[in-house]
Amino acid sequence: MRYAHEVGKVRAAERALMARLPDGALMQRAAAGLASVCAHLLPAVYGARVVLLVGGGDNGGDALYAGARLARRGARVRAVQAGSTIHPGGLADLRAAGGRLLDSGAEAAIAGADLIIDGLTGIGGTGGLREPHARYAALASESAGLVVACDVPSGVDASTGRVEGAAVHADVTVTFGTHKPGLLIDPGAARCGVVELVDIGLGPDLPDPDVVAARPADIAPPEPRPESDKYRRGVVGILAGGDQFTGAAVLSAGGAVRGGAGMVRFASVARPVELVRQRWPEVVTTVIEPGRHDARVLERIGRVQAWVAGPGLGTGDAAEALLEAVLTTDLPVLVDADGLTVLARRRDLLRRAAPTVLTPHAGELSRLVAAAREDIEAARLDHVRRAAAELSATVLLKGSTTLVAEQDRPVRVNPTGTPRLAAAGTGDVLSGLIGALLAGGMPALDAAAAGAYLHGLAARLASAPTPGPEAPISAQDVIEALPTAFRAVSSLGGDPLEPAVFAQG
């Protein structure tokens, strides 16, 4: 796992560690790590043109000391001061190593740099960048040189990932001690490039993380054993589709079939059942007559270990009755799409002891928790935590960064998402996939996080099966790529989505 801590906890850990270290030792550790990454990124350090963008805080000091180390190896290092103050010790060290503080010509120096170190602001920075910081951030982002952010790209809120106005677009972010949530959550994550963690000794002083992001080894879907049969592997029941939305039925069933379920039981009105039988003959189907049914309808469908309800189901009285029936069981239930619309008016149905997984996008969550969609999208981390606590459920908030939250647990951030998933029906596939993992016995938080990871990885594999640019995909393509995604997480020791930082070293 990648562990991330919010700024206040990082600051407290730094203070505790600095109390045990000689003065300035912690900054030297950070500068050494930063300089090492920069040296590996350059084809050659000797003669390289390095520009430091230096603010008045500790990150400015880190950049200066790192620049001094590069200067001692022969780099031509120039510092650009932003603001009225500069770290005196770092500046003295840079000058002693042969580096210079520019009095003029900053724009030309940035444009001609081989590598730019962003030390404009630190992890405590919030709100938009002011001048001249905003201008320097823009110049760096437009430069042809490599941009390396110190701890967090300037203009990105380290605790939330919010970006208000100008921000540095880094190729690499070198962060110290622990990841920060803003490095993992969009829109901030999109500004970070590759994130490289430098250990400066904070570990013993850090509390439990606020946010975690999985690596392949952390994704452990249920595996069949020699004594397994279809029932022991898990039976998932799906209530989805209707005369108007038949595709949701086929896609959610497909996500469950390719998601490892031992058996999929599907129930709906006649037309979606017919289509599911045609596309997925291994699915056991039940036709439900139109109209309102009581909980006894579930007995006709058969025994299951988990339920998926909502995709294409409709929002009228009949759909509400089916949703009420599954939510009164003592089994895990995933609710998506139309089911979430029903829950927005029937939140009483969430008063249950068994696990409940909700998979809204920002618009659906806005109806569930009475918040504006734009507010949710601007502060996704805050709102997914609030929703998990308020709804007493595991909440998977879809979007550019998918977040999964349970009350009093670190929020899971999915690192495999891709804009190619912004296509009709991909959410239905995710519902079926997570339902299969729930039926296989995974806890709700783990099933939702693993489902999001595999779903995103399948989309990436489908859109770019060989090295090269991505291509458009459909929800069906995601289903077909799921087996490859499962194989990838079980066979790869590293992260298949993270490029090598030191490719040029």
pLDDT digits (tens, 9 = 90+) for 392-435: 999 999 998 999 999 999 999 999 999 999 999 999 999 999 99
Q: In this structure, what are the phi and psi dihedrals at residue 89, rounded to the nearest 5 degrees? A: -65, -40
CA 385 to chain centre: 14
User: In this structure, which topology does domain 232-464 adopt according to CATH?
Assistant: UDP-N-acetylmuramoyl-L-alanine:D-glutamate ligase (3.40.1190)
Q: Is 151 annotated as a binding residue?
A: yes
Task: Find out whether 427 is annotated in a ligand binding site.
Answer: yes
295 is in an annotated binding site: no
pLDDT tens per residue across span 149-181: 999 999 999 999 999 989 999 999 999 999 999
Secondary structure (DSSP) of 164-212:
-S-----SEEEEESSB-GGGTSTTGGGGT-EEEEE--S-GGG--S-SEE
Q: For all residues of the chain together, what is the average pLDDT?
A: 94
- 59: annotated binding-site residue? yes
157 annotated as a binding-site residue: no
Closest CA to 401 of 223, 227, 163, 231: 163
Using the predicted structure, report yes or no on whether residue 79 has a pLDDT greater than 90.
yes
Query: In sequence order, what E strands does 343-423 have?
Result: 356-358, 394-397, 403-405, 411-413
State pLDDT tens for residues 249-300: 999 999 999 999 999 999 999 999 999 999 999 999 999 999 898 889 999 9
171 annotated as ligand-binding? no
Asked if residue 493 has pLDDT above 70, the reply is no
Range in 123-132, 282-291, 336-345, 442-451 with the lowest mean pLDDT: 123-132
Task: Please check if 118 is assigned to a binding site.
Answer: yes
Query: Does residue 367 surpass a pLDDT of 70?
Result: yes
| Residue 62, annotated as binding a ligand | yes
pLDDT of residue 504: 33
Q: Range(s) for CATH 3.40.50.10260 in the chain? A: 2-213
CATH classification (class only), 2-213: alpha beta
On whether 255 is known to bind a ligand per the annotation, the reply is: no
Question: Is the predicted pLDDT of residue 467 greater than 90, yes or no?
Answer: no
Range(s) of the chain covered by CATH 3.40.1190.20:
232-464
Q: Which of 395, 415, 423, 426 is nearest to 255 (CA)?
A: 426
Residue 399 is assigned to a ligand binding site: yes
What distances in angstroms separate CA 20 from CA 23, 25, 207, 319, one per listed residue?
9, 10, 18, 62
123 among the known binding-site residues? yes
What's the pLDDT band for 465 if we cut at 50, 70, 90?
confident
The answer to whether the annotation marks 312 as part of a ligand binding site is yes
pLDDT-derived band at 502, boundaries 50, 70, 90: very low
Give the residue-averaged pLDDT of 324-336: 97
pTM as predicted: 0.92
Q: Tell whether 122 is in a known binding site.
A: yes
Q: How confident is the model at residue 497 (pLDDT cuts 50, 70, 90)?
A: low
Residue 466 has pLDDT above 90, yes or no: no
Q: Is 165 annotated as a binding residue?
A: no
Tokens of 76: 């031509």
- Cβ atoms of residues 478 and 456 within 8 Å: no
Give me the pLDDT at residue 495, please.
53
124 is in an annotated binding site: yes
Query: Residues 413, 417, 423, 427: what is their CA dihedral angle, to the nearest 10 degrees?
Result: -40
